[in-house]
Amino acid sequence: MTKKVLVVDDEVSIANVVAIKLRRAGFEVIVALDGQEAYEQALASRPDFLITDLQMPRLNGIGLCSRLTEELGGIPTILLTAKGFEIDRLEIAGLPIRRIMTKPFSPRELLAQVQEALGLADPAHSASEIGRPTSDKEICGE
């Protein structure tokens, strides 16, 4: 069964790069450009995994995770954040955030983290993928 991933980022270029990487790996991908749109998409489509930016209009990433936890019991999540932005650990306690990744990030590493979280990764393969140098085209940032 194909796993469904909801990708949320108000930076269209970042959302598109992540979506392409995930689709090429066989995931069904839904893209939203703000937290409120993502919330509505998640209720309608019930994704298996969530990748969300922290700072977004209408509803931030933590607010999105919190609301989805209340409504759906939570969706495993990777939270993306701008470099240097601090996250209050108490604010995310109890939320299904598996990892926080700082922008810029490697889409290859993000894919490996999603696969690992969903139990789809071959541990030897994902470790070698993470260790490889990444081209400039593969770095996502703000």
For the entire predicted model, the pTM comes to 0.84
Q: Any idea which residue has 């990487």 for tokens? A: 21
Task: Answer whether the bond into residue 76 is a cis peptide, omega within 30°.
Answer: no
Give the pLDDT confidence of 39-65 residue by residue, as tens digits.
999 999 999 999 999 999 999 999 999
Residues in the chain: 142
> Using an 8 Å Cβ cutoff, are 142 and 82 in contact?
yes
The mean per-residue pLDDT over the stretch 16-42 comes to: 97
Output the pLDDT for position 94. 85
Domain regions of the chain by residue span = 4-138
DSSP state of 138: G
| pLDDT(92) > 90 | no
Q: Which CATH superfamily is domain 4-138 in?
A: Response regulator (3.40.50.2300)
For β-strands 49-53 and 28-32, DSSP reports them as: unpaired
31-35, 38-42, 72-76, 123-127: least confidently modelled range = 123-127
Q: Would you give the distance in Å from CA 17 to the centre of its chain?
A: 12
| Nearest Cα residue to 101 out of 50, 30, 136 | 50
Q: Which three-class secondary structure state does DSSP give residue 86?
A: coil
| Nearest Cα residue to 78 out of 4, 8, 1, 3 | 8
